[in-house]
């Protein structure tokens, strides 16, 4: 099962760190001088794979620039590093019927991702096709980290916010499938605490640490240890003055965050 691989690697290397792979083509090719996005991703992975629980490429950063081949090569390269090193394809797909089946095929058959993010706002039927393979994970958008998400996700349904209602609905409609995870943004730790109180053992993918300003301390206090904590810009685009090795700076940023996470978890 997907979640078994996540837990196995988390225990194996003592990590909750997920590294986002969102390439900015002009920076990578023109400023850093790489011949391809894949080569850049390869160097990121080489510098950080022993610290990373998983990697999370964002599909739009590839498809908008016709870089699907680079994405395929990146995922294959990550898998070759370690059998338990997983890839979350951040695609945020959401549709029904055969369309959802094709989106699942895109993520899992074409790109060979281990999990993908999905938008559940078309109802539980829109994510069930993604859960048909027990080796794959599905990570539903519940409470996202962007500021305007509260305009919708925090609206009350009875006495509870919409995000909580949807999380409960998905768990019920998918028979509490352990391969179903939730996106819970670090910018709303009250929401993390609320959903954690409902679901003690489910894993959360947590964006919003780093460039978006989420509190790592408050996130771990609210969410416990079953967290996949994502960082993208703060790791793969570190402050660099053009001197020294760029990827040494990448590793330093990943190491610092990895150590901070582990220190806080050990105290939780």
Which of 73, 169, 163 has its CA nearest to residue 125? 169
Catalytic residue annotation: 92
Element (H, E) at 9: helix 2-13
Which of 44, 43, 40 has its CA nearest to residue 26? 40
User: Cβ contacts of residue 213 below 8 Å, gap of 6+?
Assistant: 187
How are beta strands 160-161 and 180-184 bridged, if at all? unpaired
C-alpha dihedral, 190 to 195 to 198 to 200, nearest 10°:
-100
């Amino acid at each position: 099962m997907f979640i078994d691989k996540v837990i196995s690697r988390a225990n194996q290397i003592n990590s909750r760190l997920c590294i986002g792979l969102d390439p900015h083509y002009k920076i990578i090719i023109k400023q850093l001088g790489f011949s391809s996005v894949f080569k850049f991703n390869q160097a990121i992975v080489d510098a950080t794979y022993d610290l990373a629980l998983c990697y999370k490429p964002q599909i739009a950063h590839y498809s908008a620039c016709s870089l699907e081949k680079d994405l395929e090569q990146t995922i294959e390269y990550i898998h070759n590093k370690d059998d338990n090193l997983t890839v979350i394809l951040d695609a945020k797909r959401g549709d029904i019927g055969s369309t959802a089946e094709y989106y699942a095929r895109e993520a899992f058959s074409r790109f060979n991702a281990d999990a993908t993010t999905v938008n559940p706002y078309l109802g539980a039927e829109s994510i069930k096709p993604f859960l048909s393979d027990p080796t794959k994970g599905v990570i539903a958008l519940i409470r996202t980290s962007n500021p305007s998400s509260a305009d919708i996700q925090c609206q009350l349904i009875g006495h509870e916010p919409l995000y909580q209602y949807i999380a409960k609905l998905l768990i019920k409609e998918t028979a509490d499938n352990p391969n179903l995870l939730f996106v819970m943004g670090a910018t709303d730790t009250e929401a993390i605490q609320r959903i954690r109180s409902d679901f003690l053992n489910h894993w959360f993918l947590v964006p919003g640490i780093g460039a978006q300003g989420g509190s790592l301390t408050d996130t771990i206090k609210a969410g416990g240890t079953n967290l996949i904590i994502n960082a993208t810009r703060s790791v793969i685009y570190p402050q660099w003055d053009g001197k020294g090795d760029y990827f040494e700076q990448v590793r330093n940023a990943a190491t610092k965050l990895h150590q901070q996470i582990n220190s806080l978890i050990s105290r939780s």
